[in-house]
């Protein structure tokens, strides 16, 4: 029994329940007169509107709550080790498979069929995904069929051959019913479930690192499932259940070593203070040297320290950036082909914030590229009538997100592209003399710790800071300032090409805009008709009055057409706004101290910008940044 003494839950929470309530602002007019954009508004529950939170904690609370360690106020240590003491209780395993009730039947070729437990378990995974996007894809189906057949009995394998002849409907309906039941539980039952969850989190969700209790990010091992890769050839494969025997535990020698679930043993136990992970197991899909790790939460001291280090490296880049830019500009125009390619690559990484683009194994993975792996067909050179030169980009980046951009470039860059693309054709690497490792080695020589991804961090953070400077009106209302923040944030997100799907969103704003456009189109048609009538009348008898009528009607029509164009512009703006994800840049690319300083300076409560989880993650920045903090300013110790 895997789980008898290690209860498992369906959900854990990483954030504290600070009790923030949010509501949406009423549609507000934009002061810059652009589209009527709405911004989420965050309302803090109490009166704790001061940016320095924690100041108002009651004395009783202080006694019980361990004082937060202010590691950012301690001197830096060059210690290589990540910890000297690490103790935890090991991960929680997925609940054991619960067989389907007797009355839930699987049918093959219309005939009811009893499946063996293993085959049934894998079948239920598929049934649960029946109305998912990916399960429609043929690769998904093919991979699932192959892996499913592997767990079937000889007899089952003989019968079940075609997925199309399988009927999972009853199984699928059964799980929907279970979901429904869960939703309709009584309040008491819900509370009890919550408490159970909390107890498990309390035991397994935390660890002790050097005397401090720290939250663990993923203390539950991934349950068995069907692989949901994006654009991967392996989607639909069965991801097997992880057993304690698959798991390696990492903790200190002198800690209480976690006990494996009864009847089981850990695969192995190690005590490596150079590693940040608490447990790991081999990735069942990728296999080989790829592992899944249990690590500390983003809000832990260790991750905070790593985050701060990342931003300080990006800030160090600021003092080198002119030199680096001058150099790559020189290289772009220079003679050598390698340096020319590297110069152009640097230009793309710096200006367009492209990812470096490591080589990856062909076939297995989706055909996505980064800077160094761009191919001939991803780029088009355009010279337009006005003499302006453009380069258009069209390729799939990380997670198969499309990158489309049209950039106007100087002659020198255009020429360099022409030279680089000479004698190349579809399928050829754009920078055939270059790869990610070579480019990073080059950067490493320019500045210690400099790699291609630092440019993304640097430029995103710089964008935020610049745009905040530019857009914030000191005399404005809080709402206006917050809107300015969102626009600055959006600038960074746009740079990083952070997208989100909008397929199912047909929100009211969009709907009303659409109906407005339709109405306008109708009005235009009517106006066209009346114009034609007026023109005809003028044809019959060419009086000056009739001529002015025609002119008037023309004017009206033109005005309507212009209004429609305006609405269409608004529509694209709105669509574009919806397709941008702001949260990714906020968490990974924007130095939180920029935000904190801005909040302090403009007296905006931090809760209006950061979610409760973000407040926990960025506590170091909230404490350490004064209103004078500048990302491009002097670097403090650390």
Partner DNA sequence: GACGAGACTTGGAATAATTTTG
Partner DNA sequence: CAAAATTATTCCAAGTCTCGTC
Q: Which of residues 161-190 bind DNA (CB under 7 A)?
A: none
Please select the residue that binds DNA; options are 6, 42, 520, 564, rule is CB under 7 A: 42
Q: How far is the CB of 377 from DNA (least distance, A)?
A: 18
By the rule CB under 7 A, 23 interacts with DNA: yes
Among 198, 588, 605, 623, binds DNA (CB under 7 A): 588
The stretch among 164-172, 334-342, 351-359, 619-627 that binds DNA (CB under 7 A) is: 351-359
* Nearer to DNA (CB atom), residue 444 or residue 477: 444
Nearer to DNA, 1 or 136 (CB): 136
Based on the number of CB atoms within 10 Å of its own CB, is 607 exposed (0-12), middle (13-18) or buried (19 or more)? buried
For every residue of 128-142, DSSP letters joined together read: HTTTSSGGGSHHHHH
Binding of DNA by 593 (CB under 7 A) = no
Token pair 């034609």 in the structure block, residue: 532
Residues contacting 506, CB < 8 A, separation 6+: none
Binding mask 610-629 for DNA (x = CB under 7 A): -xxxx---------------
Q: How many residues does the chain have?
A: 638
The count of C-alpha atoms lying within 13 angstroms of the C-alpha of 359, restricted to the half-sphere facing its C-beta, is 9
C-beta contacts of 19-23 below 8 A and 24+ residues apart: 19/45, 20/44, 20/45, 20/607, 20/611, 20/612, 21/45
The binder of DNA chosen from 497, 520, 557, 598 (CB under 7 A): 497
Nearer to DNA, 193 or 523 (CB): 193
Cβ–Cβ < 8 Å for 314, 452: no
- Contact between 1 and 96 under an 8 Å Cβ cutoff? The reply is yes
How many chain residues touch DNA (CB under 7 A)? 93
Return the SS3 of 292: strand
Which of 124, 172, 457, 465 lies at the binding interface for DNA (CB under 7 A)? 457
Cβ closest to DNA, residue 23 vs residue 542: 23
Min separation Cβ 327 and DNA, Å: 18
Shortest spacing between CB 109 and DNA, in angstroms: 29
- What residues numbered 253-312 form the site for DNA, per CB under 7 A? 274-277, 280, 283, 285, 288-293, 295, 303, 306, 310
Least Å distance, CB 33 to DNA, is: 22
Binding region for DNA (CB under 7 A) out of 319-327, 504-512, 521-529, 543-551: 504-512
Please, which residue, 213 or 536, has the CB nearer to DNA?
Answer: 213
Please list every residue from 399 through 418 that binds DNA, using CB under 7 A.
399-401
Give the position of tokens 């199912």: 504
CB 614 within 8 A of CB 587: yes
CA proximity to 285, closest of 359, 368, 222? 222
State the catalytic residue, choosing from 311, 403, 458, 589: 589
DSSP string covering 382-423? EE-TTS-EEEEEEEE-GGG-EEEEEEEE-HHHHHHHHHHHTT
What does the alpha-carbon distance between residue 430 and residue 370 come to, in Å, rounded to a whole number?
11
CB of 592 to DNA, least distance (A): 12
Measured from the CB atom, the residue of 498 and 520 that comes closer to DNA is: 498
Closer CB to DNA, 148 or 538, in the complex: 148
Which pair of tokens denotes residue 238? 């069965």
Which residue carries 């710096």 as its tokens? 350
Rg over CA atoms, the chain: 30
Say if strands 212-215 and 225-226 run parallel, antiparallel, or are unpaired: unpaired
Interface of this chain with DNA, residues 529 to 558, rule: CB under 7 A: none
Per CB under 7 A, 46 contacts DNA: no
Q: Give the shortest CB-633-to-DNA separation in angstroms.
A: 21
Active site residue 390: no
Measured from the CB atom, is 227 or 417 closer to DNA? 227
Check: CB of residue 551 under 8 Å from CB of residue 421: no
DSSP state of 86: E
The strand ranges marked E within 40-117 are 40-43, 86-87, 106-108, 111-113
CA distance 345 to 97: 51
**Which residues between 417 and 456 bind DNA (CB under 7 A)?**
436-438, 440, 444, 449, 451-454, 456
User: CB of 223: closest distance to DNA in angstroms?
Assistant: 6
Q: How far apart are alpha carbons 49 and 509 in whole angstroms? A: 31
Given the complex with DNA, which of 328 and 414 has the nearer CB atom? 328
Q: Which of 311, 394, 359 is nearest to 587 (CA)?
A: 311
Q: Which of 44, 377 has the CB closer to DNA?
A: 44
369 vs 534, beta carbon nearer DNA: 369
Exactly one of 261, 304, 370, 491 binds DNA (CB under 7 A); that residue is: 370
Per CB under 7 A, does 139 bind DNA?
Answer: no
Interface stretch with DNA, choices 34-42, 58-66, 141-149, 555-563 (CB under 7 A): 34-42
| Tokens standing for residue 381 | 């050179």
Residue 175 CB, nearest distance to DNA (Å)? Answer: 11
In the sheet that holds 268-270, the strands lie side by side as 268-270, 248-250, 279-282, 291-294
The minimum distance between CB 396 and DNA, in angstroms, equals 8
CB of 505 to DNA, least distance (A): 6
CB atoms within 10 A of CB 510: 15
Give the nearest distance from C-beta 24 to DNA in angstroms: 5
Q: Can you say how many angstroms the Cα of residue 19 is from the centroid of all Cα atoms in its chain?
A: 25
Q: Are strands 268-270 and 248-250 parallel, antiparallel or unpaired?
A: parallel
- Nearer to DNA (CB atom), residue 176 or residue 381: 176
Q: In sequence order, which residues have a C-beta less than 8 Å from that of residue 334 and are 6 or more positions away?
A: 340, 343
Question: Which residues, 205 to 244, sit near DNA by CB under 7 A?
Answer: 218, 220, 222-223, 225, 227-232, 239
- Does residue 354 contact residue 383 with C-beta atoms inside 8 Å? no
DSSP 495-561: HTT-B---TT---HHHHHHHHHHHHHHHHHHHHHHHHHHHHHHHHHS--HHHHHHHHHHHHHHHHHH
Site for DNA in 113-132 (CB under 7 A): 132
By CB under 7 A, which span of 169-177, 339-347, 353-361, 412-420 interacts with DNA? 353-361
Smallest distance, Å, CB 403 to DNA? 10
The catalytic residues are 589
């Amino acid at each position: 029994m895997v789980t008898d003494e290690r209860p498992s839950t369906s959900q854990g929470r990483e954030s504290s329940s600070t009790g923030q309530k949010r509501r949406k602002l009423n549609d507000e007019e934009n002061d810059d007169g652009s589209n009527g954009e709405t911004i989420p508004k965050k309302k803090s529950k109490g009166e704790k509107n001061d940016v320095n939170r924690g100041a108002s904690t009651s004395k009783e609370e202080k006694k019980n709550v361990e004082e937060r360690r202010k590691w950012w106020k301690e001197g830096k240590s060059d210690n290589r080790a990540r910890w000297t003491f690490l103790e935890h209780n090991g991960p929680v395993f997925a609940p054991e498979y619960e067989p389907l009730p007797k009355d839930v039947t699987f049918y093959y070729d219309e005939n009811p069929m009893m499946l063996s437990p293993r085959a049934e378990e894998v079948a239920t995974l598929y049934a649960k995904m029946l109305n998912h996007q990916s399960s429609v894809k043929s690769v998904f189906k093919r991979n699932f069929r192959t892996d499913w057949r592997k767990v079937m009995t000889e007899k089952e394998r003989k019968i079940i051959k075609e997925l199309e002849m399988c009927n999972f409907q009853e199984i699928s309906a059964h799980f929907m019913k279970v979901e429904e039941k869960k939703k309709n539980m009584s309040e008491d039952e819900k509370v009890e479930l919550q408490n159970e969850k909390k107890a498990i989190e309390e035991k397994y969700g935390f660890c002790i690192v050097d005397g401090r209790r720290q939250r663990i990010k993923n203390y539950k091992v991934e349950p068995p499932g069907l692989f949901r890769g994006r654009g991967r050839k392996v989607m639909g494969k069965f991801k097997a259940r992880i057993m304690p025997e698959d798991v390696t535990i990492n903790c200190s020698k002198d800690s209480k070593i976690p006990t494996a679930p009864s009847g089981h043993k850990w695969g192995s136990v190690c005590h490596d203070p150079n590693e940040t992970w608490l447990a790991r197991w081999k990735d069942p899909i990728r296999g080989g040297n790829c592992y899944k790790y249990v690590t500390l939460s983003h809000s832990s001291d260790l991750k905070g320290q790593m985050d701060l280090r990342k931003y300080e490296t990006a800030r160090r880049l600021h003092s080198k950036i002119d030199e680096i830019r001058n150099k790559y500009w020189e290289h772009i125009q220079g003679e050598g082909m390698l340096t020319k390619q590297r110069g152009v690559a640097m230009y793309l990484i710096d200006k367009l914030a492209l990812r470096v683009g490591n080589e990856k194994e062909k076939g297995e993975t989706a055909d996505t590229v980064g800077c160094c792996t761009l191919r001939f067909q991803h780029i088009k050179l355009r010279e337009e009538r006005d003499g302006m030169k453009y380069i258009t980009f069209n390729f799939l980046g990380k997670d198969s997100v499309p990158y489309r951009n049209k950039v106007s470039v100087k002659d020198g860059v255009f020429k360099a592209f022409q030279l680089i693309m000479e004698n190349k054709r579809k399928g050829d690497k754009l920078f055939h003399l270059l790869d990610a490792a070579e480019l990073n080695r080059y950067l490493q020589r320019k500045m210690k710790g400099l790699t291609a991804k630092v440019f993304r961090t640097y430029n995103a953070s710089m964008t935020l800071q610049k745009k905040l400077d530019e857009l914030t009106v000191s005399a404005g209302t809080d709402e206006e300032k917050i809107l300015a923040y969102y626009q600055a944030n959006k600038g960074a997100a746009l740079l990083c090409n952070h997208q989100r799907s909008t397929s199912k969103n047909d929100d009211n704003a969009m709907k009303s805009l659409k109906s407005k456009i339709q109405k306008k189109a109708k009005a235009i048609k009517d106006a066209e008709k009346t114009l034609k009538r007026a023109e005809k009348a003028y044809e019959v008898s060419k009086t000056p009055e009739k001529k002015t009528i025609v002119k008037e009607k023309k004017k009206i029509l033109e005005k309507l057409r212009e209004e429609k164009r305006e609405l269409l512009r608004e529509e694209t703006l709105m669509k574009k706004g919806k397709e941008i994800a702001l949260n990714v840049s906020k968490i990974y690319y924007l130095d939180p101290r920029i935000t904190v300083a801005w909040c302090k300076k403009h007296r905006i409560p931090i809760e209006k910008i950061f979610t409760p989880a973000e407040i926990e993650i960025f506590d170091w920045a909230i404490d350490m940044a004064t209103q004078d903090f500048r990302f491009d300013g002097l670097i403090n110790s650390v």
